[in-house]
Amino acid sequence: MKQNEHTVVIVDDHLLLSGSLEKLINSFDGFSVLYHASNGKELQQKLKTHKSQPDIILLDINMPVMDGFETAAWLTDNHPEIKVLALSMEDDEKVILKMLQKGAKGYLLKDIHPDRLKIALQEVMDRGYYHSEKVAATLLHSIQPSYNKEEVKFKQNELTFLQLACSEMTYKEIADVMSLSPKTIDGYRQELFNRLHIKNRVGLVIYALKNDLIKI
């Protein structure tokens, strides 16, 4: 490593990406890759054993073992001096916001042009943050007031019921696992049916799927 060079660590379980990314970054003037890790746990260990710390960590979100959210949170707590740049395919507003709340200094989408990566690394070192255009737009959107997009929020119990109702359990069984009376469960059901304008449990499942409330 040359002097005055900024160092990067890549945390991604897609070896093909991280491997070729390393070549790319090493070709950038002023940046070099220290090492890789394929998940958060591995990163924790390597941070301990390697003497020199990276300036920037390029962090993927979807990883086995210890995902990007957990890892970012841990890094913010334990290594606040290291700048975390999230690198992900998802431009889902909720994911982006969550990642930034965990302390990421920037969020890059994997569909950016390679040249952009250099700009991103430079900006993070210079100004302390960087975001893809799409991400910036998403962020802007997230702070806009939402006029007609009727806000559908769920209380914790309601959400739990809704998710359980998307399984093969009967309402009686749901009442049991939630330690509530079947009548209360029936109350949740009626309330949700009315609010979401649905006719039966099938409608509930469809709604939950369309709104990412459950995973199949």
Partner DNA sequence: TAGAAATTGGGGGTTTTTCCTGTGTTGAAT
Partner DNA sequence: ATTCAACACAGGAAAAACCCCCAATTTCTA
- Residues lying near DNA in the complex (CB under 7 A) are found at 155, 157, 170-172, 180-184, 186-187, 189-190, 193, 199-201
Strand order in the sheet with 56-60: 31-37, 6-11, 56-60, 83-88, 106-109, 130-131
Task: Output 27 or 190, the one with its CB closest to DNA.
Answer: 190
Q: What minimum distance in Å lies between the beta carbon of 170 and its own copies? A: 8
Q: What minimum distance in Å lies between the beta carbon of 194 and DNA? A: 7
Instruction: State the DSSP code for 37.
Output: E
Q: Kindly give the residue spans of alpha helices, DSSP state H, lying in the chain.
A: 15-26, 40-49, 68-78, 93-101, 114-127, 133-143, 156-165, 171-177, 182-196, 201-210
186 contact, one of DNA, its own copies, none, CB 5-8 Å limit per kind: DNA
Task: Output 48 or 113, the one with its CB closest to its own copies.
Answer: 113
Task: Output 77 or 176, the one with its CB closest to DNA.
Answer: 176
d(CA 42, CA 57): 13
Q: What minimum distance in Å lies between the beta carbon of 134 and its own copies? A: 12
